[in-house]
Chains A and B, each alone.
Chain A
Amino acid sequence: MELTDRELVQQCQAGEMSAFQELVSRYQQKVYMVILGLLHNREDALEVAQETFFRAYRKISGFQGGSSFYTWLYRIAVNLAIDAQRRQKRNPLDFRETMDDLLESQDEAARDPFADLHDKELREKLISAINDLTPEHKAVIVLRTIEGLSYKDIGEIVGCSEGTVMSRLHYARKKLQDKLSAFL
């Protein structure tokens, strides 16, 4: 039977390293996606994701369980990603180039679960449009998109009210739709 996050956290707090490894395996992809959505650079995203889990390990003894583990973990990830974005010097187009590689590969295109999105231009425009959002707007739309988190959880992660989450999501979607109106 699969252990819950809470059980894994408790084992981790008792010094069980395998429990922490299980938590990393469980959240590595989602944490990476959240950070990638904010940074748009694969290497930076991997570095920040690594730092996220390292910080989580260091602080896990103080985790009281007042919020769910993933909310707590995403909060660390989003804060680190926003900090990294402010000092990001690498070329943000790296991610776009990554997507071009993806589209050029037949095999990988076949594995793409969203292969119905044939329009390469839409993807490029989408990445460009996300880049134009502020970190706060990016954070809410990425968290909502990837994890399907509730407004309450997103508010806890980014440190604002549910109403603010709702208005930021509405604004971000409107901006994206305006820029992608020809493709949607």
Chain B
Amino acid sequence: MNGCEDKTASIERWLDGELSGAESESLRAHLAACAECSEARRRLEKLQSALTGVLLAEAQRVDFAPFRRAVQLRVNEKRPWHQEALDWMHDAFPVSRAAWVVPALIVLLLAVVSLESYLPGWRGAGRNAFATVDSIDAYGRNVALLREYDTKTTVIWLYQDQEGENEGAEETAPAGPAF
């Protein structure tokens, strides 16, 4: 196509009814004079016709009466409450919105942690200490955490079980208070 490469998109937009009146007139005049663009138009129209033909021929073979009855049945059927609830959840929290759940949970967690700073002991009257011991890997390394609300002090120990462990001893020495 000599100098007409950019015309293909215009021909498509014209066939799709997306060109203005003036643009259409100009393109029509060009098509009347350019055999190659006319050929491009013919190919696009044949493609469109073939696509429509394939889908329409198939759709015309379908008897939609049973289809309508099936839709009616589904609309009328009583559904269990849990299915209604699941559908409601699905509509209210589609996957695209579910992406917000993670940051929202983080913010909520931070809010709870902050609340502890401002309202010591809010989680239970008279509570002034919190302690936990957890294993942090499969090699017997553990972390112990002690939080004293009265003094606002947190102590963290990293240590390793002594039984059967031969490596990483230097890493398992008590780290002492972190802050």
Contact = CB atoms under 8 A, between A and B. Distances in A.
Pair from one complex: yes
Interface of A: 17, 20-21, 24-25, 28-29, 32-33, 36-37, 42, 46, 49-50, 53-54, 57-59, 95, 98-99, 102, 108, 111-114, 117, 122-123, 126-127, 130, 141-142, 144-146, 148, 150-151, 166, 169-170, 173, 176-177, 180, 184
B58 A54 contact: no
Contact of A57 (B61, B70, B75): B75
B56 interface: yes
6 contacts: A28-B67, A50-B70, A50-B74, A148-B17, A170-B8, A180-B50
Contacts of B17: 148, 150
A173 B50 contact: no
Q: Interface residue tally of chain B, by bracket? A: 35 or more
A25 B65 CA distance: 9
A98 B75 CA distance: 30
Interface string B56-88: 111111101001101110110000000000010
B55 interface: yes
A141 B51 contact: yes
B155 to A, nearest CB: 50
Contact of A176 (B47, B64, B87): B47
Interface of B: 8-9, 12-13, 16-18, 43-44, 46-62, 64, 67-68, 70-72, 74-75, 87, 91
A145 B67 contact: no
Most A-side CB within 10 Å, residue of B46, B51, B60, B67: B51
Contacts of B44: 173, 177
B177 to A, nearest CB: 52
Contacts of B62: 29, 32, 42, 46
A32 B68 CA distance: 12
Contacts of A111: 60
B55 A177 contact: no
A145 B46 CA distance: 12
Nearest to B52: A145
Nearest to B18: A151
A58 B54 contact: no
Given A59-B91, A144-B16, A126 B50 contact: yes
Contacts of B58: 33, 36, 42, 95, 98-99, 102
Nearest to B91: A59
A151 B17 CA distance: 9
A24 B58 CA distance: 19
Contacts of A150: 16-18
Contact of A46 (B52, B57, B67, B75): B67
B53 A113 contact: yes
Contacts of A95: 58
The 8 closest A-B pairs by CB, nearest first: A114-B53, A184-B43, A145-B51, A33-B55, A53-B71, A54-B74, A33-B59, A28-B64
A166 B13 contact: yes
A32 B59 contact: yes
Given A108-B61, A169-B12, A177 B71 contact: no
